[in-house]
């Protein structure tokens, strides 16, 4: 028995050391796998930037900074005349209109689902909103081209043109003639596409509000609107802004749905009912048939879209950091 005990004692420390060694190996493997994954993201991002810069370099040398404020787009000329002002203008206008529509509607749906909606109705509406996010963008484009575009051109656009005709500024913004393909039609499609992102994220962050805060507000006589305005929104503003910026990034880069219904015109018009184009739509519609300086100009458009999206996300991140700092104070 003494010999057996001595053998077990001798084996004990060896087994513990082996187990610790295995744990250390697992920790190191996990560390290097996660670190390699993070570095791979940076390498991929750097590779994308370098490939865009290399592809766009001939156009950058040929056109310089004038590429940003030149409206004309004539790749068939000799030499070609290429300008990004039209696509940049269309990208900004459609994204601004889309967000102006989607933000209040999306947050309103989220408030209804979390504060006002009967329990039996929450799940069907939530599933319907999630289904909107799952519809392919090309389906949105086809629906916009065959259904939404004719409806807007035959009913909504003539109505708005008649209301604002002769009104300074607004008369130019809502000027005719009605069109199946326009900046406004594309913006409305974008608003429908980004709506699920804003709604889903807002619902999730609204659910994080501690019930005791809302109960305390109701206890002192606050209405539902006052609870939402003074408790729910301030408590969750960081998450809501993050969802809005995520939706804005999707709106800036959407391609197929916009290409179907925007008209692909490089001309700039003060009317939102006029045809236009965006950076992504211009690239999608012309890249397959491009070569030489024309192709380099399209790649430069892609680089501009990358920079624009990066700037938007950077501003959003800085805004969220400031809000978090204020909340901490």
State the pLDDT at residue 25.
75
Look at the chain and report how many structural domains it folds into: 2
State the pLDDT at residue 55.
92
Q: What number is the average pLDDT over the span 188-201?
A: 92
DSSP 3-state of 81: strand
My answer on whether 28 and 74 are in the same domain is: no
What's the predicted TM-score (pTM) here?
0.85
Looking at the predicted structure, is the pLDDT value of residue 7 above 60?
A: no
My answer on whether 96 and 186 are in the same domain is: yes
Query: pLDDT tens digit string along 99-117?
Result: 999 999 999 999 999 988 8
**What does the alpha-carbon distance between residue 1 and residue 5 come to, in Å, rounded to a whole number?**
6
Beta partners for 263? 276
Identify the sign of the CA torsion 175, 177, 183, 189: positive
Q: CATH code at 110? A: 1.10.3720.10
Domain that holds residue 117: 67-328
My answer on whether 49 and 110 are in the same domain is: no
Confirm if 312 and 218 have CB atoms less than 8 A apart. no
Query: Could you say which of 17, 37, 62 is where a domain stops?
Result: 62
Question: How wide is the angle at C-alpha 34 spanned by C-alphas 33 and 39, nearest 5°?
Answer: 100
Query: pLDDT tens digit string along 8-32?
Result: 454 444 567 776 776 777 788 888 8
DSSP 3-state of 178: coil
| Tokens standing for residue 53 | 């810069």
My answer on whether 192 and 301 are in the same domain is: yes
């Amino acid at each position: 028995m003494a010999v057996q005990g001595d053998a077990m004692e001798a084996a004990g420390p060896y087994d513990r050391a082996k187990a610790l060694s295995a744990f250390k190996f697992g920790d190191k493997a996990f560390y290097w796998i996660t670190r390699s994954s993070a570095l791979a993201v940076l390498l991929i991002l750097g590779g994308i930037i370098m490939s865009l810069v290399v592809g766009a370099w001939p156009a950058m040398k040929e056109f310089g900074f004038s590429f940003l404020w030149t409206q004309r787009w004539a790749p068939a000329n000799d030499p070609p005349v290429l300008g990004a002002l039209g696509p940049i203008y269309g990208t900004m206008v459609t994204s601004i209109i889309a967000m102006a529509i989607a933000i209040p509607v999306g947050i309103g749906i989220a408030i209804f689902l979390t504060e006002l909606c009967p329990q039996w109705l929450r799940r069907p509406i939530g599933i319907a909103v999630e289904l909107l996010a799952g519809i392919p963008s090309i389906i949105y484009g086809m629906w916009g081209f065959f259904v939404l575009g004719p409806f807007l051109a035959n009913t909504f656009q003539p109505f708005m043109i008649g209301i604002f005709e002769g009104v300074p500024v607004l008369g130019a913004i809502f000027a005719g003639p009605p069109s199946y393909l326009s900046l406004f039609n594309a913006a409305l499609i974008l608003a429908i596409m980004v709506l699920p992102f804003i709604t889903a994220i807002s619902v999730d962050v609204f659910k994080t509000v501690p019930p005791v805060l809302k109960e305390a507000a109701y206890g002192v006589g606050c209405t539902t609107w006052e609870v939402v305005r003074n408790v729910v929104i301030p408590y969750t503003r960081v998450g809501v802004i993050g969802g809005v910026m995520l939706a804005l990034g999707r709106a800036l880069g959407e391609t197929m749905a916009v290409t179907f219904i925007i008209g692909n015109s490089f001309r700039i018009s003060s009317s939102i009912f006029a045809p236009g184009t965006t950076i992504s739509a211009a690239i999608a519609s012309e890249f397959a048939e491009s070569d030489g300086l024309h192709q380099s100009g399209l790649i430069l458009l892609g680089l501009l879209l990358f920079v624009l999206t990066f700037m938007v996300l950077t501003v959003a991140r800085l805004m969220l950091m400031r809000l978090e700092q204020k909340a901490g104070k």
